[in-house]
Amino acid sequence: MKNIKQAQHISEVVLRRVINKLTIGIGEVKFSKLIISELKQGGVKALAFEPIVAFGQGAADVHHVPTKNKLQIGDTVMLDFGTTINGYCSDMTRTFFFGEPAKRQAKIYADVLQAQELALKKLKAGHRNCGEIDYATRSYLGKKYPRRAFPHGLGHGVGTAIHEWPTLKPNSKDILKPNMIITIEPGLYFKNWGGIRIEDMVVITKHNVTDLTKFPKDLKSVILKIK
């Protein structure tokens, strides 16, 4: 637990630092390298996985590989990365807006955030069946955006590997138990402009859940100033 908390803390420190370096015209590949450089400077010896850096339409790709795509005003900026400390991983996704978001973008962001909050509330209320939690969250977004609900599981275990048991996905029979660390990461994706994913890492307790991800995710906090 201590190692994962430390890994997450480093990731958040780096995220705060690098988002201030987003400027018009910077490329995804260059920004990915910047994240890696900052992580190494922070004492990280090994990444949990290669950073996902996606600007604009690239964020419609769930597992986007950074390209030469350059940041433009109005783009969404999806950043998904993690670190390792003593072999234990962290994982986090935040989606930002480079400049004021359009009303539709802001609405979609609010709905994804609400979907995540729904899942967290179920966990806090004692729900422990992975399939049921996934279904409730997926149904919430599916009613608002038919056929758009996230094309991936709601979450997964995190430990010495970035993707471990249990798995929160449709029809999963996995049961959450105390001290398990999992992610909660609903998302919506649109080919014409991009996507929104919000991912927190949480630890399961006997009757509750503790969020290990402290980085802000309210709409105001994810709107970046244009530079």
User: CB–CB of 29/16 below 8 Å?
Assistant: no
pLDDT tens sequence across 75-107: 999 999 999 999 999 999 999 999 999 999 999
Classified by CATH at the fold level, domain 2-224 comes out as Creatine Amidinohydrolase (3.90.230)
pLDDT tens sequence across 3-15: 999 999 999 999 9
Assessment of whether the complete model's pTM goes beyond 0.85: yes
pLDDT given for residue 185 in this prediction: 98
- Would the CA dihedral through 147, 149, 150, 152 be positive or negative? negative
pLDDT tens sequence across 173-211: 999 999 999 999 999 999 888 999 999 999 999 888 999
Angstrom distance (rounded) from CA 109 to CA 17: 23
Strand, helix or coil for residue 150 = coil
At a CB cut-off of 8 Å and minimum separation 6, what does 213 contact?
8, 12, 92, 199, 200, 201, 202
The tokens of 114 are what?
């609400």
